[in-house]
Structure 1
Amino acid sequence: MGSTVVLEKWPVLGRHEWAAEWLQVWTDLGRAPRTIDAYARGLAEYLTMCDREGVDPATANRAHVAVYVRELTERPSRWGANVVSIDSGSGLANATIQQRLVPVRLYYDYLMEEGLRESNPVGRGRYTPGRRRSGHDRGLVPRLTKLPWIPAGQQWLDILSVAADEPIRNRVMLALAYDAALRRQELCSLRTDDIDPAHRTLRVRAETTNNRLERIVPYSAPTGVLLSGYLTHRAKLSRARGPFFLSESHRNRAQPLSLWTWSKVVRRLALAAAVPEFSTHTTRHLCLTDLARMGWELHAIARFAGHRNTESTLTYIHLSGRDLADKLNRGMEQIHGWRVQMLARLGEPGAEANES
């Protein structure tokens, strides 16, 4: 997305000279269109607040930024009746607020580099008394890390039951999203030459990932059967190489399937299955959690997921209390068995001499 298109979408950026220049810098640096759009949206909302409050963004202080944060935390949910969690009915989620603050922070970094400010009112955290050893800084907004939601066994079966009546394309996409733990962007950006049916693998290109790491991931034999069926079906829409998943609507027939179309498909499935929490990212969480349940080592799961470090992987893996209890019980059984064996040996003739 070019800066001109962004300025048309968010005209408030064009009214602030330094904002437009800052956005152009990121565009020239080759940031992904989705990143540019996210930066533009976050800064546009902040500048809109400044205009409304009569504040010059170039001289705004921490109190003015706090007004923006308060506005985000009190904003009504745009989902209305489709709110899916208790704390999402009012205000943006903590992670979304963090994302909105990133472009504001980067904007003030730019103003400092240009000599227009001496400090950043957003900042990156300050020294917290009592945390000297850990070196932990407290940010402007506390960062909350919640466990990802994954469906229970029956909920997953309900989703699959609804998905069974879906067109072949949607079933393949759902299968690949789980099998290969694909993000929405990675799934919808697959191209015909990314698929290797002979080895049942697919290539996730670096430019479609969040961290620009390319990876090769496998998919299962059942998914391969679905994929073969979709290849036959796709040939009826288009034999041209390029985007793998195509739209079948009358308006966009044979055009690349958009992210938003896939999101609508998943949302429809979730509501039909009475599992409103289910989203395009749920399959990724579920796959990585299942790999952990099967005993995969953490670094192997991280590589499969395309994470640079295992800390990111840990936030995706959701082992329930029951899973952890089972692991503890198995471990305790081994320890208990070992102790019983040692006690039994003490009753054997000569055991005391051997132990000493």
Structure 2
Amino acid sequence: MKISDAADAYLRHVADVRRLAPATVRAYRSDLADLAETCDDAELATVDLEQLRDWLWRAVQRGDSRATIARRTAAVRGFFAWATEEGAMTADPSLRLVAPKRGRTLPKVATADVLAGVLQRLATVAAEGDPLALRDHAVLELLYGAAVRVSELCGLDLDDVDRDRRTLRVLGKGSKERVVPFGLPALRAVEAYLVRGRPALAVRGDGTGEASALFVGARGGRLGSRAVYSLVSRELGPEMGAGVGPHALRHSAATHLLDGGADLRAVQEILGHASLGTTQIYTHVSSERLTASYRLAHPRA
């Protein structure tokens, strides 16, 4: 079996059985296609550790980041482990393949005052009644107020919002469903959008299956993640710098929850993290702020 044929079967496995996120499957597809090209799409059983090391080394020479190298390592290790289990290989050549340690990068976080200013500005514009402005205000309020991922926000349907309980039903990574709370400002923004914004946007569509979408685009279809990235970049870019995206609001919400005394386990549940260790990065952000305040204020610092 050729590497490319085995890779196709493996990618179907991780998408349909392991239910990895579509973005992860796309990344693995790119990694394994690159491996097949590097090895001239040889027979899978002929691939050895030296070839895998050479493949990784080429990525290092190309200037790929540590995170990318680590992901490529994870992709091939998962691939060859599966191939060995399926009997396509007698031994797994990737067992001794080691990825470089990933440096811990603390997430970009906006202060509560900065976000309050941005959201107030959006609310002022939305009050004039423009449908897109009403939608944009509701989008940012929910991204921050519910700490959801952009994919989760774009996937929301109308019946996923419980306005009485102020909760959202979201479908997270691995198709895991969870219910998250959101606050009164977000509720007000969503209600204003549903009454005065969404009806005007929805009629622009062609009626092909987007009637259930909570957030719709300028042409009436379901709002896409690219449009949300552009919105966040436009509104938060001047405050947080170039390259800021929707995840900055999720990072900020998590950090502000911990700053306010929220339990780490509760924050884990809100964010939908499978591992508490993933959530703990936000404790480092909070402790950095605490240390900075101490150094500025304490006479013995």
- The structure that has the greater radius of gyration is 1
Trace 1:160-179 onto structure 2 (pairs within 5 A): 160=119, 163=122, 167-179=133-145
Report the alpha carbon displacement of residue 230 of structure 1 after superposing the two structures with TM: 0.8
Q: Secondary structure at the match of 2:55?
A: helix
* Offset, 1:263: 2.0
Check 1:123–1:184 CA distance in 2 against 1; reply closer, same or farther (3 A cut): farther
Distance 1:238 1:156, change over 3 A: closer
Q: Distance in 2 between matches of 1:168 and 1:111?
A: 51
Amino acid at match of 1:298: L
The offset of 1:41, in angstroms, is 1.9
Select 1:47's aligned residue among 36, 43, 56: 36
Q: Paired residues, what number? A: 284
1:25 aligns with 13
Residue 215 (1) aligns with residue 174 (2): no
Per-residue CA deviations over 1:188-213 (Å, capped at 9, x if unaligned) read 11110011122222112xxx312544
Deviation at residue 270 of structure 1 after TM alignment: 4.2
Which SS does the other structure have where 1:121 is aligned?
coil
Question: How many Å separate the matches in 1 of 2:275 and 2:22?
Answer: 25
| TM-score, normalised via structure 2 length | 0.79
Contact 2:233/2:242 (<8 A) preserved: yes
Alpha-carbon offset, residue 72 of structure 1: 2.7
| Residue equivalent to 1:308 | 274
In angstroms, what is the RMSD of aligned CA positions? Answer: 3.4
Which letter does structure 2 place at the counterpart of 1:242? S
Q: 1:21 to 1:325 in 2, by over 3 A?
A: closer
1:186-241 CA distance string (max 9 Å, x none): 1111110011122222112xxx3125442222211121111111102112233874
Change (3 A) 1:97 1:316: farther
* Deviation at residue 144 of structure 1 after TM alignment: 2.5
- Report 1:98-117 matches (<5 A): 98-117=70-89
- 1:142 to 2:101 alignment: yes
| Cα shift at 1:306 | 1.9
The equivalent residue for 1:351 is none
Cα deviation for residue 291 of structure 1 reads: 0.8
- Partners of 1:162 and 1:59 in 2: CA distance: 61
Shift in Å, 1:292: 0.8
SS where residue 39 of structure 2 aligns? helix
Aligned to 1:234: 198
Whether 1:321 and 2:292 are equivalent positions in the alignment is no
Question: Could you list the per-position Cα deviations for residues 104-133 of structure 1 after superposition, in whole angstroms to 9, with x for gaps in the alignment?
Answer: 2222113212434343333377xxxxxxxx
Letter aligned with residue 180 of structure 2: V
In 2, Cα distance between equivalents of 1:28 and 1:213: 14
Matched, 1:59 2:42: no
User: How high is the sequence identity, in percent, across the aligned residues?
Assistant: 29
Counterpart check, 1:71 vs 2:38: no
SS state at 1:167 partner: helix
Structure 1 unaligned blocks of 5 or more? 1-12, 76-90, 126-138, 334-356
Q: Distance in 2 between matches of 1:241 and 1:329?
A: 53
1:321: Cα distance to partner? 2.6
Deviation at 1:38, TM superposition (A): 2.9
2:233–2:243 contact (8 Å) kept in structure 1: no
Cα distance, 1:276–1:236 mapped onto 2, change above 3 Å: same
Matches within 5 A, 1:92-131: 92-123=64-95
Deviations 1:277-321 (A, max 9, x none): 522111111111111111112112222222234222102442153
Choose between structure 1 and 2 for higher RCO, CA contacts under 8 A separated by at least 6 residues. 2
CA displacement at 1:274 relative to structure 2: 6.2
Q: Which residue of 1 aligns with 2:160?
A: 194
Q: Name the TM-score, length of structure 1 as normaliser.
A: 0.68
Q: Which amino acid aligns with 1:226?
A: A
Q: Aligned to 2:280, what secondary structure does the other structure show?
A: helix
Question: In the alignment, is the contact (CA less than 8 A) between 1:162 and 1:269 conserved in 2?
Answer: no
Taking the aligned partners of 2:268 and 2:12, their CA distance within structure 1 comes to 34
**What amino acid is the match of 1:236?**
A
Q: 1:118 to 1:196 in 2, by over 3 A?
A: same
Aligned residue type for 2:106: L
Distance 2:44 2:118 in 1: 48
- CA contact under 8 A between 2:3 and 2:36: conserved in structure 1? no
CA contact (8 A) 2:150 2:246 kept: yes
